[in-house]
Chain A
């Protein structure tokens, strides 16, 4: 690999042990990706602050001991704890202590304690064309697809190596050619389907299954595919598959036309997606429809606009089951300042920040199924929490919570 003078200085340990380790790992991984060189990055987002055992703590400790400091503005993903509402945690106290230690290490390394899986909802998010290094699968696919920023799928450890060096291997989605679509999906559904929030996570679930790690190009979406709907689509596609970028022709910034998205080449495969395909996806993501035990929304973290929608839906009502909303401390702060939270609190929600209900023991023993509007939550929760899940739109989640039993409307009834 061709290295700059500064790269060689980092590699020689002239900026400390942590930076040396980071550069060694960056080069080793970059070579397996076929990178010939490293490039500067402008931002990083760290997934490694989320606790999965001692290995993550040992690695972060090694970087702290080595005097590591991030070289670019760096945000932190969700962890296992809600630091604003610590009483919500129902798990083992030793695990909580270890998880807190891990979080502290990453703050010591100079990362901002944002604790969100949706860093693209923060004020200073990346802009079109910026080279960045992001972890967290839903954030990666959003940055590439919706913002037009450029990141590969960085795993835990690699994310902080990029942040500590300010560099990333120049390969894959960092390059022009790596971002071209290779597989085409035509959405062939009645127009009313595109008005339904639930369409988007279902579509993402199907895309992930069929596209794997390729870059899919979607035709048939329009301006109704808002940022929040694209967030839901991408998060589901990055759960059922390894999708790190998609194009939606006429919607996303590198797909003004089908030929632009495909780089004037023929797609390897063209697939039409019908309402039946989406119905099948809904069945796959619904493990049971029995008694409603709880509702969880906000995976990825609920945005300010979604709080406004939720406030309108719940106005004047109260929930009959536990109702969880996951969000970032930053968005919660904005929603509170804007006066949006009053009807939501009166409805009876439990607000969870800094973490998410499907990765840490917050919900406790639920008697009955959990309803969610998230394809990602529906995908992971059965294995993580041992619960059965029903997927539905935000409006159906609220209607179900009010009546205490699952309500499905529209095409999905």
Chain B
């Protein structure tokens, strides 16, 4: 399927993790493990590492850019992110990680979300089912 908007261009594949509630990366995610640690989040304990994370917009702290960049640096970050609206706090985190470490986590905006658990690839402006 075609996405609505490409925020950060790139290619990445991973298992779909569809979050049921907004998430602040700072204060909500452990950098070391990639897991959600916000006790109020319905998916507390779930890991974002290597997943294509479907996020119903960001929330909370402006430090989320730093946290996302650091997760990408140490390898606990998502493979890619699908948003329901643009979020520049996540975009700048990804662009800085790409510039510093050459690891790109593509971000797209899409109104329809792929099924949780299946493997999808973000490929520029296309979302493709892998398996």
Interface residues of A (CB under 8 A from B): 21, 25, 28-29, 32-34, 47-48, 50, 52-56, 58-59, 62, 135-137, 140, 152-159, 161, 208, 212-213, 238-242, 284, 287, 379-380, 382-384
CA distance A118 to B67 in the complex (A): 22
Contact A47 B57 (CB under 8 A): no
Give the contacting residue for A54; candidates B40, B67, B70; CB below 8 A.
Answer: B70
Find the A residue at minimum CB distance from B7.
A32
Interface residues of B (CB under 8 A from A): 5, 7-8, 22, 24, 26-28, 31, 37-40, 57-67, 69-70, 72-74, 85-86, 88-93, 95-97, 99-101
Find the B residue at minimum CB distance from A213.
B57
Contact B62 A28 (CB under 8 A): no
Find the B residue at minimum CB distance from A152.
B88
Contact A50 B66 (CB under 8 A): yes
**Residues in chain B near residue A54, CB distance under 8 A:** 70, 73
Q: Looking at the assembled complex, report how far the CB atom of B36 sits from the nearest CB atom of chain A, in whole angstroms.
A: 9
**Residues in chain A near residue B8, CB distance under 8 A:** 32
Give the contacting residue for B39; candidates A154, A155, A213, A382; CB below 8 A.
Answer: A382
Give the contacting residue for B65; candidates A32, A157, A383, A384; CB below 8 A.
Answer: A157
Contact B31 A53 (CB under 8 A): yes
Contact B100 A157 (CB under 8 A): no
Contact B85 A25 (CB under 8 A): no
Contact A55 B70 (CB under 8 A): yes
A135 in contact with B62 given A29-B91, A56-B69, A155-B93 (CB within 8 Å): yes
Find the B residue at minimum CB distance from A358.
B27
Contact A242 B97 (CB under 8 A): no
**Residues in chain B near residue A25, CB distance under 8 A:** 92, 95-96, 99
Give the contacting residue for B88; candidates A153, A284, A287, A382; CB below 8 A.
Answer: A153
Q: Looking at the assembled complex, report how far the CB atom of B49 sits from the nearest CB atom of chain A, in whole angstroms.
A: 15
Contact B58 A47 (CB under 8 A): no
Contact A32 B57 (CB under 8 A): no
- Given A50-B66, A153-B62, 14 extra CB contacts under 8 A: A32-B86, A33-B88, A55-B72, A55-B101, A56-B69, A58-B73, A62-B100, A137-B60, A155-B64, A155-B66, A159-B62, A212-B57, A212-B59, A213-B85
Task: Give the secondary structure class of B's interface.
Answer: helix
Contact A53 B74 (CB under 8 A): yes
Contact B100 A55 (CB under 8 A): yes
Find the B residue at minimum CB distance from A21.
B99
User: For A50, A155, A161, A380, which residue has the most chain B Cβ atoms within 10 angstroms?
Assistant: A155
**Residues in chain A near residue B85, CB distance under 8 A:** 213
Give the contacting residue for A56; candidates B64, B66, B91; CB below 8 A.
Answer: B66
CA distance A142 to B34 in the complex (A): 31
CA distance A29 to B72 in the complex (A): 18
Find the A residue at minimum CB distance from B31.
A53
Find the A residue at minimum CB distance from B64.
A155
Contact A156 B65 (CB under 8 A): yes
Give the contacting residue for B66; candidates A28, A157, A239; CB below 8 A.
Answer: A157
CB-defined A-B contacts under 8 Å, sample of 8: A32-B88, A52-B31, A52-B66, A55-B96, A153-B89, A155-B65, A213-B57, A242-B22
The 10 closest A-B pairs by CB, nearest first: A155-B65, A53-B70, A155-B89, A55-B69, A156-B66, A156-B65, A52-B66, A55-B70, A158-B92, A32-B7
Contact B95 A28 (CB under 8 A): yes
**Residues in chain A near residue B37, CB distance under 8 A:** 383
**Residues in chain A near residue B100, CB distance under 8 A:** 55, 58-59, 62
**Residues in chain B near residue A48, CB distance under 8 A:** 65-66
**Residues in chain A near residue B95, CB distance under 8 A:** 25, 28-29, 157
CA distance A53 to B62 in the complex (A): 15
Contact B93 A241 (CB under 8 A): no
